């Protein structure tokens, strides 16, 4: 360290220099107070040594200036015998330590070491203080930026603590909930939003019953508004586990307009489908009368034209029926009733119905059933599912091969598999096949007619039965659809699988 010695007589300089140089320090000297002030201001002086020939209580101007302008520099006074009162007086003026005159090397080095430690500690403390100030400034800046972003969001935001008290909400949420008075946080959640379903979800999150990165989406009704609420855990620091669930964050989106548009779309599809279906059925009936020759004989050309008209009419009727089915599924009205249903019997009837079509295409259609139990289902809906999947399996196996349908019962559910050895589905298209109007594109199936609604209807019907459907496919080798349908528990007093959706 660099040490400044202010001494009028230059008597102690040799001893001080020898001791300091031996300890790795540098000594700078001054004979006048003004010279010392200049050195203190212009050099990186770490310690100031003051030599006084006699102790007085008269305040030295240098001490006052050092204490006022350079309080970080420790001042060590070298003096002869000094009274306690005089020592306290000088300490009030900024003196940190005292060294006896004449200098004792051991005492001198200990005092310098203490002053050095004090200097380093104060430097580190100043550094930490600067870092804390910068961190606080950065924190406040980020806090204000985050507040600006949240307050400017069109979606509502609500944050709760672990006691389910609202600690943050933005103006958009207040507008959605039509709350005009000012809310002082924290406030119990029921004072802000009193929806039992949402509160139950937030309680599950706080109880740790969901994953830390889970996003739980649900729709809630607030007056005339329909809101989509997406809730997730808010994590906070914890000594034992680093982070724990310390609250919840919920984002609210007003989907009222989308719901209205969806209802309008459904109503429009229903109206158009019904309005088109009736005249098309009449047209088909009249064309059937003509084709059968009941209105007079037809020549060969007329018969060909009528056959084409009938086929096109059937395609239109199939599209209209599919649109009506989709509308019913979306409205939750497709599955009419759950009755005891024999899956094995439905499979046998469907295979018998499809077998001539499969033979005409060079396919072997087979089935096998094992340990089946009756399930609660809508027989018409199950027939629709199997009809769609078997038709697809036949249509997408243009080069012959085999189509197999198997069903077996296990504990809790019935598993149905429809496997074909057809063209298969590319892996990148698998996530899209249950979308409405989506059709797999392949050169060999360009002639296959369809609406692209069949698999969407299948998925809707299966899920309406609280079941699940999944698909596996290898391009050029074939496709397998796997359906799981829950079986009612025989004990009416036990928990029923119908209480909620089963996923596998």
73 with 53: CB under 8 angstroms?
A: no
30 phi, psi to nearest 5 deg: -150, 145
Among 268, 233, 226, smallest CA distance to 162 is for: 233
Token representation of residue 15 = 């001893």
CA separation for the pair 187, 192 (Å, rounded): 8
Kindly tell me if the per-residue pLDDT of 487 is higher than 90: no
Tell whether 133 is covered by a domain: no
**Residue of higher predicted confidence among 245 and 81:** 245
DSSP at 420:
E
* 219 and 289 housed in the same domain: no
pLDDT class of 177 with cuts at 50, 70, 90 = confident
Check which CATH number belongs to the domain holding 356 and give it: 3.30.565.10
- CB of 293 within 8 A of CB of 302? no
pLDDT value at residue 501: 35
User: Which run of H or of E encompasses 48?
Assistant: strand 47-51
Spatial distance between the Cα atoms of 172 and 185, rounded to a whole number of angstroms: 17
The predicted structure's pLDDT at residue 479:
92
Residues 345 and 488 in one domain: yes
481 and 348 together in one domain: yes
Q: What is the mean pLDDT of residues 438-447?
A: 62
pLDDT top residue among 319 and 421: 421
Q: Among 300, 330, 360, which residue terminates a domain?
A: 330
Mean pLDDT for 126-140 is: 90
Q: Residue 117 sits in a domain of what CATH number?
A: 3.40.50.2300
Q: Per the structure block, which two tokens stand in for 136?
A: 């606080």
**146: in domain:** no
Tell which of 330, 359, 389 closes a domain: 330
Torsion of CA 470, 476, 477, 483, to 10 degrees: 20
Q: To which H or E segment does residue 317 belong?
A: helix 300-330
Q: Does residue 240 form part of some domain?
A: yes
Q: Are 307 and 300 in contact (CB under 8 A)?
A: no
State the pTM of this model.
0.47
**CATH code at position 194:** 3.30.450.20
Residue 318 lies in a domain: yes
For residue 479, give the 3-state DSSP assignment: strand
pLDDT tens column, 191-243:
888 888 899 999 989 888 888 778 888 888 888 888 999 999 988 776 555 66
Containing domain of residue 8, as a range?
2-127
CA atoms lying within 13 Å on the CB side of residue 420: 24
Cα–Cα distance, 244 to 227 (Å, whole number) = 28
- Examine the domain organization and report whether 265 and 240 are in the same domain: no
Q: Residue 448: is its pLDDT beyond 90?
A: no
| Lowest-pLDDT range of 60-64, 127-131, 191-195, 200-204 | 60-64
pLDDT at 157: 92
pLDDT at position 431? 85
CB 226 within 8 A of CB 219: yes
| Domain final residue, candidates 254, 286, 321 | 254
- Encoding tokens for residue 367? 């089935």
* Reported confidence tier of residue 246, pLDDT bands at 50, 70, 90: confident
Segments of 165-224 assigned E as strands = 165-169, 187-188, 216-222
Q: What is the predicted pLDDT for the residue at 241?
A: 54
For residue 305, count other CB atoms closer than 10 A to its CB: 14
Q: What are the tens digits of pLDDT across the range 279-316?
A: 878 888 888 888 887 778 888 888 888 888 888 888 78
What is the rounded average pLDDT for all residues in the chain?
82
- Does one domain contain both 494 and 346? yes
Residues 224, 271: one domain?
no
What pLDDT, in 10s, does the model give residues 9-59? 778 888 888 888 888 888 888 888 788 888 888 768 888 888 876 544 444
**What value, to the nearest 5°, has the Cα angle with vertex 248 and ends 243 and 252?**
145
109 and 23 share one domain: yes
How much is the pLDDT for 56? 43
Whether the per-residue pLDDT at 496 is higher than 50: the answer is: no
Q: Is the pLDDT score of 98 beyond 70?
A: yes
Does residue 139 lie in a domain region? no
Query: Cα 368 vs. chain centroid, distance in angstroms?
Result: 44
8-state DSSP, 170: -
The pLDDT tens digits for 391-409 are: 888 888 877 788 999 999 8
Judge whether 138 lies within some domain.
Answer: no
CB environment 451-474: b (16+ within 10 A), e (fewer): bebbbbbbbbbbebbbbbbebebe
Whether residue 240 is found in the same domain as residue 278: no
* Residue 135 is assigned to a structural domain of this protein: no
**Pair 116, 158 in one domain:** no
The per-residue pLDDT for 419 is 93
Indicate whether 236 and 264 sit together in one domain.
Answer: no
pLDDT of residue 404: 92
Q: How far is CA 143 from the centre of its chain?
A: 21
Q: Are residues 437 and 493 in the same domain?
A: yes
Query: What is the reported pLDDT for 59?
Result: 44
Contacts for 361 with CB less than 8 Å, ≥ 6 apart: 394, 397, 398, 400
C-beta separation of 8 from 52 below 8 A: no
The number of distinct structural domains making up the chain is 4
Question: Are 257 and 228 a contacting pair, CB within 8 Å?
Answer: no
Cβ contacts of 490 within 8 Å, gap of 6 or more = none
Proportion of the chain above pLDDT 90, given as a percent = 13
**Residue 137 belongs to a domain:** no
Residue 478: name the closest of 427, 440, 424 by CA. 424
What ranges in 331-378 are assigned the alpha helix state H? 343-360
Average pLDDT over residues 175-196: 86
Helix/strand/coil (H/E/C) assignment for every residue in 244-293: EEEEEEEEEEECHHHHHHHHHHHHHHHHHHHHHHHHHHHHHHHHHHHHCC
Beta bridge partners of 55: none
Distance CA(114)–CA(98), nearest Å, equals 11
Indicate if 249 and 280 belong to the same structural domain.
Answer: no
Verify cis geometry, omega within 30 degrees of 0, for the bond prior to 147: no
pLDDT of residue 53: 61
């Amino acid at each position: 360290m660099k040490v400044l010695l202010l001494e009028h007589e230059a008597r102690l300089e040799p001893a001080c220099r020898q001791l300091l140089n031996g300890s790795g320090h540098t000594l700078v000297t001054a004979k006048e107070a003004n010279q010392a002030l200049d050195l203190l201001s212009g050099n990186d002086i770490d310690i100031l040594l003051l030599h006084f020939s006699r102790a007085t209580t008269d305040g030295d101007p240098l001490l006052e200036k050092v204490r006022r302008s350079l309080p970080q520099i420790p001042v060590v006074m070298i003096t002869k015998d000094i009274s306690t009162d005089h020592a306290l007086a000088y300490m009030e003026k900024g003196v940190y330590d005292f060294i006896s005159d004449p200098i004792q090397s051991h005492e001198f080095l200990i005092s310098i070491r203490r002053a050095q430690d004090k200097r380093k500690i104060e430097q580190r403390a100043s550094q930490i203080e600067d870092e804390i100030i910068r961190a606080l400034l950065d924190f406040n800046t980020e806090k204000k930026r985050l507040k600006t972003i949240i307050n400017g969001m069109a979606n509502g935001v609500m944050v709760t603590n672990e006691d389910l008290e609202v600690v943050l909400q933005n103006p958009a949420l207040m507008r959605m909930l039509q709350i005009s008075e000012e809310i002082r946080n924290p406030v119990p959640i029921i004072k802000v939003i009193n929806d039992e379903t949402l509160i139950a979800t937030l309680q599950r999150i706080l109880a740790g019953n969901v994953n830390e990165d889970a996003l739980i989406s649900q729709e809630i009704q607030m007056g005339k508004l329909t809101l989509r609420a997406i809730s997730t855990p808010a994590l906070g620091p914890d000594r034992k586990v680093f982070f724990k669930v310390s609250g919840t964050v919920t984002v609210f989106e007003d989907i009222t307009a989308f719901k209205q548009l969806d209802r309008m779309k459904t109503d429009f599809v229903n109206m158009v489908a019904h309005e088109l279906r009736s005249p098309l059925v009449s047209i088909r009936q009249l064309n059937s009368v003509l084709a059968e020759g009941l209105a007079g004989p037809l020549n060969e050309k007329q018969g060909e034209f009528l056959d084409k008209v009938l086929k096109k009419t059937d395609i239109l009727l199939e599209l209209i029926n599919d649109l009506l089915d989709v509308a019913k599924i979306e409205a939750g009205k497709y599955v009419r009733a759950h009755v005891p249903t024999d899956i094995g019997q439905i499979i046998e009837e469907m295979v018998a119905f499809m077998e001539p079509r499969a033979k005409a295409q060079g396919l072997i259609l087979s089935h096998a059933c094992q340990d089946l139990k009756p399930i609660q289902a809508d027989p018409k809906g199950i027939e629709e599912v199997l009809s769609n999947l078997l038709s697809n399996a036949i249509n997408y196996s243009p080069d012959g091969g085999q189509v197999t349908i198997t069903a077996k019962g296990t504990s809790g559910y019935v598993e149905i598999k429809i496997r074909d050895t057809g063209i298969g589905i590319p892996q990148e298209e698998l996530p899209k096949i249950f979308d409405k109007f989506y059709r797999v594109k392949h050169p060999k199936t360009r002639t296959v007619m369809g609406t692209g609604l069949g698999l969407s209807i299948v998925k809707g019907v299966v899920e309406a039965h609280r079941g699940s459907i999944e698909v596996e496919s290898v391009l050029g080798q074939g496709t397998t659809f796997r359906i799981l349908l829950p079986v009612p528990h025989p004990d009416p007093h036990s928990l029923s699988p119908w209480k909620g959706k089963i996923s596998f």
